[in-house]
Amino acid sequence: MPQLEAWQQVLVNEDFLTSTHGKLSCSSCHLGNETGDTMEKAHADMVVAPSADPERYCDTCHGTLGAEHVESLHASLGGYKETIRTRTGQSVLSAGLEQMFDARCAKCHTTCGQCHVSRPVSVKGGFNAGHNFLKRPNMTLNCTACHGSRVGDEFRGLNAGITADVHYNKGFQCVACHSTEELHTAEPGATSRYDNSLAPACEDCHNVATSNQYHSAHGNKLSCQVCHSQEYKNCWNCHVGKEVSGITQPSELGFKIGRNPLKSAERPWNYVTLRHIPISPDSYDEWEANALVNYSALPTWKFATPHNIKKNTPQTADCTSSCHNNPAIFLTQEDLQGMSAAEQAANKNVVVTTIPD
């Protein structure tokens, strides 16, 4: 997404001034000095992003929304932190990794404003609509500004040879499925975005249980994506540096069915789609060498919900050859050859050992 010019980022539309928020004085949220006759004087002690403290600036009118949001994974990034912590084998992150998290990971957390007023900081910010507050975040400027390289590209059909999600083609935006409640609130103890009883399920709209013989035959054995998603992006070898960070190996499109690493009452399926995530044993070495002593505690082929859903996919083309008796579509031990012993161990519970016949 092209970055806005610095002046465009802070240009306020005239119509904002007659909106509910526009009728407040600027300093009631941003402090500063509204009578200052130079930029420096006017900006003295200014609060650029008031909603970083939502209980003070937002909840005076919006009840407890801000306080609740602070606990959500969107704000806390608790899922990331918990994943890193688990791989370190420690009860809390070390000082070095906390420092890394604050410097490199925390910029992706959201405030109220980064969804409802501006683009996220991770894409250098700037007003969405001249400081007008948008009740509904903009899919392009907000949601996929962060969730872009995988979900955004999949949903819009931007990966070579892969068509857009059927829901995108019907005009759905993210919030059509992901409710306000899901995005604002946190489940107690949630360590993953999937730990949310308000997360969308296909069954919320589709009556799939016995709608056709394939659904009846597979029941709860497969997640919907196993049959109805297309190839998706897998990433490898990301390193979080102090100066330069990034993925050092090109991402690849692929499709792998594996055993469900997040099996629960809400996710009872035996087989799900798995996406390779770019964690390496030395991903954080610049911040703390050999910190991931428990690297194998979590799979590197992670539970995935690709956002490129179609009714008819290569998997539905011919059941007798697409999946059944087709080891290539499953994550097997053969796929792990060439990986480190640690990574092979990490994935031992998600590889498929017996190909369905």
Partner 1 sequence: MRHIISFIVLVMSVFIFLTMCSTPRNPTNPDGSGGISTCVVCHTDAEKLQALAEPEAETEGEAGEG
Question: Residues in the site for partner 1, rule: CB under 8 A?
Answer: 1-3, 5-7, 10-14, 17-18, 22-28, 30, 32-37, 39, 42, 108, 119, 122-124, 131, 144-154, 233, 275
**Nearest Cα residue to 7 out of 37, 30, 54, 39:** 39
| Residue with smaller CB distance to partner 1, 32 or 200 | 32
Radius of gyration for the chain, computed over Cα atoms and rounded to the nearest angstrom: 23
- Least distance from partner 1 to the Cβ atom of residue 36, Å: 6
> Cβ closer to partner 1: 119 or 184?
119
State which residue, 46 or 342, has the beta carbon closest to partner 1: 46
Residues in contact with 94: Cβ distance below 8 Å, sequence separation at least 6, in sequence order: 88, 288, 291
Q: In the complex, what is the shortest distance from the CB of residue 210 to partner 1, in angstroms, rounded to a whole number?
A: 33
Residue 218: CB minimum distance to partner 1, A: 26
* Euclidean distance between CA atoms 174 and 136, whole angstroms: 10
Cβ proximity of 126 and 12 under 8 Å: no
Rounded to a whole number of angstroms, the minimum distance from the CB of residue 148 to partner 1 is 3
Cβ proximity to partner 1, 270 vs 299, nearer residue: 299
Q: Closest by alpha carbon to 112, among 148, 177, 80, 67?
A: 67
Closest CA to 142 of 197, 74, 81, 54: 74
The residue among 62 and 147 lying less far from partner 1, judged by its C-beta, is: 147
Q: Which is closer to partner 1, CB of 13 or CB of 264?
A: 13
Least CB distance to partner 1 at residue 246 (A): 9
What does 264-318 look like in DSSP terms, one character per residue? SSSS--SEEEEEE----TTTTTTTSTT--TTGGGS-SEEE---S-B-SS-HHHH-
- Closest separation between CB of residue 186 and partner 1, Å? 17
How many CB atoms are located within 10 Å of the residue 31 CB?
Answer: 15
